[in-house]
Amino acid sequence: MRMFQVCVCGQPLRLNEQPTPEPKGTEVLLKVLAAGVCHSDLHIADGYFDMGGGKKLNLEDRGMKLPLTLGHENVGEVVAVGPDAKGVKVGRRVLADPWIGCGTCPACLRGDDNLCRTMKSLGVFSNGGYATHMLVPHPKYLFDIGDLSPERAAPLACSGVTTYGALKKVPTLKSEPTVIIGAGGLGLMCLALHQKMGGHSATVVDVDPAKRDAAKKAGATHVVDGGAPDATQQIMKLTSEGAGAWAVIDLVGSSASARVGYDSLIKGGKYIIVGLYGGDLTVSLPPIPMRALTIQGSYVGSQHEMKELMELVRAKGMPDVPVATRPLDEVNAVMGELRAGKVVGRVVLTPA
């Protein structure tokens, strides 16, 4: 098998080859059909997240082992199953839920693998799908895609379930406007799922006019330039009674986006942070109780949410998000384009 791996943090991925593994125990071997390129791949390749104030969260300290095959948005065809892998057949096309926990802690036993303290996520802490083949440790992490196209289904594994998990945290989804900060791949997915979930209306915020246009075309009720000096006032004017937003989903997660998002809340509002751009936010404490504000983090999604998302897509159709396919061998170029902010929607790699 061939795979593109992080060998040294901060350097381009390297093409390596090794014998294709035989699945053992409950493992399932997939031939990769489609692997989405996610913004967090850039951070994983760099080896750290920016914690703000010059501090870094080093991923090797957190258990990331090199060399590592990136790629956590994967669809593959089952080509071999271990002797204990039940309920999965060779030839099936499946989405791999990459958010895999230890399997034994209380969070994992509830199906909240995304809250496990020792995650083994595919493409983050174990080898992912920027490869011709990949191993998935258990069939419970596989979801049949039926006749969905592999390249359109692949982004559901991260961009899909991450935005679905965030939208599920919005109590006012169906009754009030929701503000979505960021109109990149994640933002357009969030907007599309918001509609499929019966969302009231969406105001999308982005600093890039091309991305605002894409959001407008994709059905955003309003768009706001997040870089405008009065961005907060504009958002507040467009949401509940001109008094602010009941819910802001921040898919960027920078110091600037957090400032705009948090400051746009109405009394009782909720700021949900998803993006991992990095930075920090200073907030005054008294307004949190006095205005009953919530700051909530949302990390990918649980197994239940992945299952619900697949059911939603089956019932309401695939989210209409721009997807471009590129050969796996172009992975380093694609990551460069993503880093330069040149990607609208999602790029999905297809092994030749």
Question: CB of 220 within 8 A of CB of 201?
Answer: no
Nearer to Zn ion, 172 or 302 (CB): 302
The residues that touch Zn ion, with contacts defined as CB under 5 A, are 38, 40, 101-102, 105, 108, 116, 158
Taking the least distance from each CB to Zn ion, the nearer of 18 and 104 is: 104
Smallest gap from residue 240 Cβ to Zn ion (A): 31
CB atoms within 10 A of CB 183: 30
Residue number with CB closer to Zn ion (235 or 321): 321
Quote the least distance from Cβ 120 to Zn ion, whole Å: 9
Provide, rounded to whole angstroms, the least separation between the CB of residue 89 and Zn ion: 28
Report the alpha-carbon distance of residue 45 to residue 14 in Å, rounded: 11
Measured between alpha carbons, how far is 242 from 3 in angstroms, rounded to an integer? Answer: 52
Whether 296 contacts 318, CB under 8 Å: no
For Zn ion, give the closer residue by CB, 105 or 197.
105
Q: Which is nearer to Zn ion, 116 or 183 (CB)?
A: 116
Least distance to Zn ion from the beta carbon of 123, Å?
A: 8
- How many other CB atoms sit within 10 Å of the CB of residue 297? 10
Strand 346-350 relative to strand 177-181, pairing: unpaired
Helix (H) or strand (E) run with residue 225 in it? strand 222-225
SS3 category, 307 = helix
User: Least distance to Zn ion from the beta carbon of 27, Å?
Assistant: 18
Residue 161 CB, shortest distance to Zn ion, in Å, is: 9
Residue with tokens 């404490």: 285
Residue closer to Zn ion (CB basis): 79 or 105: 105
Give, in order, the Cα–Cα distances in Å from 164 to each of 39, 51, 193, 217, 274.
Answer: 17, 25, 7, 21, 11
